[in-house]
Structure 1
Amino acid sequence: MAVACRFGSLPVLSTVVVASLVLAGCGSVGNRSDEEKLGYKPQEREIQSAKDQVNDISSRLLDLMGVKGKVTEPSAAVNFCETVDPDLQKYYAIHHPWSVYDLEAGTFGQAMENLRRALPEHGWKITKDGETNSIARNPEIIAVNKKSRHTITVEWAKERSGDLKQIIAVDVSSRCYRAPEGTDISEEK
């Protein structure tokens, strides 16, 4: 199938670009909107509200693990929306890396198994349940929340170099949001 688009008076009849022309539209090749680049329309959202939601997700994940131990302290923070705004002018995402270690109750294996069972019951779709692509081949679960579209990566770092103790490392990330008009995103970082 050949598609003919006109740019000025020059016809374009290349089957190599047909797929991109059909998907992007003849007039927008190379000039895609932010929404087209992301594949969705970013919701306008106050930064603190987005941070609070990610912190809440992290807290619920710890509860779902069903173990007690020490937890790293940093809370969720603003991150770049690399695809459309690496300079943090209009769009942002929220990122929360944290870990649990020095368990006082339960085991690391039990925590991972509890997540495997509980995540689908709480609106998460597990997209990967296997090993990391590292030399250590540690157990890893990756999931997406069906409603909020947040993603989580949970790694049981049981094989660590040196004398480092086992930990479960968690990374919670949001989709990109559009900051309300007048928000200086760089001040929130």
Structure 2
Amino acid sequence: MNNRITGKILHGAALLAVLAGCNVASQEKSGQNEPLETRSVQDVDAETRQISSQILDVMAIKGVLSKSGPGVSVCEGSERGKIFLVRHPWSLTGTSDAELMKAMTRLKGDLPKHGWKVVEYGQNSSRGKSLELTADHVAKKFAVKVEFWKRSSGGDTNEPMLLVNVVSSCYQVPDGEKVDRF
């Protein structure tokens, strides 16, 4: 993955962490001092993989998938090793802009049938005016952001691509478990 894609994925993951309610500092300021749910990293990792797979199924398109897997991150404002979230940035390179646009349309129409609420859909402010979709799954405590990069968008010579960021909510590490995958 080139640096432009990597930077966009990391920025998207940070945004999704906030969208998924993972900003501990903000929760404290707003008076939401409810204790976080305790879950093992392995359980959240497995659920993140499952959700990414479901999103790919909804897209219903063949293409080249990136080889990234889920990663563990510290939630903003929390102590490392005590509270975590899992994020899974990945990409799908398609054969044409038209096919990827159909996948975006399917996501917008079909994600709500699977419990997702589409909270944002439209062009972003980038030079390429990429189409973005952001959705939350309140029951599962996940968020997803999908960005559609058309072929050669922004003057680059990239193939058409969907950038996907799946991010869990923040969870407390169970007693006795260590988080060593940051």
- 1:188 is the counterpart of 2:162: no
Ranges of 4+ aligned residues in structure 1 off by more than 4 Å:
32-35
Cα distance in 2 between the residues matched to 1:33 and 1:68: 40
Higher helix share: 2
- 1:79 is the counterpart of 2:79: no
Cα distance in 2 between the residues matched to 1:64 and 1:149: 19
- 1:101 is the counterpart of 2:93: yes
Matching residue of 2:123: 131
Match of 1:92 among 84, 87, 101: 84
Q: 1:114 to 1:34 in 2, by over 3 A?
A: closer
TM-superposed deviation, 1:137: 1.1
Matching residue of 1:178: 172
- 1:150 is the counterpart of 2:130: no
| AA aligned opposite 1:188 | R
TM-superposed deviation, 1:83: 2.9
User: Does structure 2 conserve the Cα–Cα contact (< 8 Å) formed by 1:130 and 1:141?
Assistant: yes
| AA aligned opposite 1:101 | T
| AA aligned opposite 1:179 | V
Higher strand share: 1
Gaps in structure 2 of 5+ consecutive residues: 1-23
Matching residue of 1:119: 111
TM-superposed deviation, 1:136: 1.4
Q: 1:34 to 1:118 in 2, by over 3 A?
A: closer
Cα distance in 2 between the residues matched to 1:42 and 1:103: 42
Matching residue of 1:61: 55
Matching residue of 1:141: 133
User: Is the partner of 2:44 in helix, strand or coil?
Assistant: helix
TM-superposed deviation, 1:33: 8.5
User: Is the partner of 1:96 in helix, strand or coil?
Assistant: strand
Superimposed CA distance per residue, residues 44-101 of structure 1 (whole angstroms, 9 cap, x where no aligned partner): 001011001011000000000010111111111101101323xx13100001000101
TM-superposed deviation, 1:149: 2.0
Decide which structure has the larger Cα Rg and report it: 1
Q: 1:35 to 1:156 in 2, by over 3 A?
A: closer
| AA aligned opposite 1:78 | V
- 1:45 is the counterpart of 2:42: no
| AA aligned opposite 1:93 | L
Answer 1 or 2: higher relative contact order, Cα 8 Å, separation at least 6: 2
User: Does structure 1 conserve the Cα–Cα contact (< 8 Å) formed by 2:25 and 2:76?
Assistant: no
User: Does structure 2 conserve the Cα–Cα contact (< 8 Å) formed by 1:160 and 1:166?
Assistant: no
Match of 1:168 among 150, 157, 162: 162
Cα distance in 2 between the residues matched to 1:165 and 1:48: 34
Cα distance in 2 between the residues matched to 1:133 and 1:34: 26
